[in-house]
């Protein structure tokens, strides 16, 4: 079970029934850190799978995988370091301000901008930067998980 998903469920608005079933589960900071690390790893794997399976010439699809995963890795790191009051659109600024990891915050800014319709000049370069960005975050989380 990914504890970040449980935490998200506890924060959400319940639409069916009177009791939120996620509130029955006890979440600790340790569980959130573990869930955030798994979330980052999942996003790195999504990027890798995108690279391996995207047909040649489908640069927009490749950029999509890279941008989604970079945003997901940045979100995971924010949860990992205890930040919880953010959304997909303010992640880049919060990441640049709060993250103490050797990962270029411009990558997540470019990823968000691409998701909002901006063009990427060199998709291969962008995706490689996204991949390095994700691995840098994952490495930081693993080293700082205790």
pTM: 0.85
Is it the case that residue 1 has pLDDT exceeding 80?
A: no
pLDDT of 58 reads 86
pLDDT of 110 reads 94
Distance (Å) of CA 97 to CA 74, 83, 90, 144: 12, 11, 11, 19
pLDDT of 16 reads 59
Q: What is the mean pLDDT of residues 109-117?
A: 89
* Domain boundaries of the chain, sorted by first residue: 30-143
Q: Mind listing the pLDDT tens digit for each residue in 23-38?
A: 788 989 999 999 999 9
How many angstroms separate the CA atoms of 139 and 71, rounded? 16
Q: What is the mean pLDDT of residues 49-77?
A: 90
First-to-last CA distance in the chain? 19
More confident residue, 7 or 39: 39
Percentage, residues of the chain above pLDDT 70? 95
Whether 95 and 108 have beta carbons less than 8 Å apart is answered as yes
pLDDT of 68 reads 92
More confident residue, 10 or 71: 71
Fold entry, domain 30-143: 1.20.120
Q: What is the mean pLDDT of residues 93-118?
A: 90
CA nearest 137: which of 72, 87, 93? 72
């Amino acid at each position: 079970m990914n504890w970040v998903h449980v935490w998200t469920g506890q924060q959400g608005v319940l639409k069916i029934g009177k009791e939120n079933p996620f509130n029955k589960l006890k979440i600790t900071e340790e569980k959130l850190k573990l869930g955030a690390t798994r979330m980052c790893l999942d996003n790195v794997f999504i990027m890798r799978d995108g690279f391996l399976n995207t047909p040649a010439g489908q640069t927009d699809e490749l950029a999509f995988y890279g941008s989604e995963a970079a945003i997901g890795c940045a979100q995971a790191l924010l949860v990992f370091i205890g930040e919880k009051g953010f959304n997909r659109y303010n992640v880049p600024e919060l990441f640049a301000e709060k993250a103490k990891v050797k990962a270029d915050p411009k990558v997540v800014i470019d990823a968000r901008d691409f998701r909002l319709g901006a063009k990427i000049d060199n998709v291969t370069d962008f995706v490689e930067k996204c991949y390095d960005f994700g691995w840098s975050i994952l490495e930081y989380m693993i080293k700082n998980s205790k």
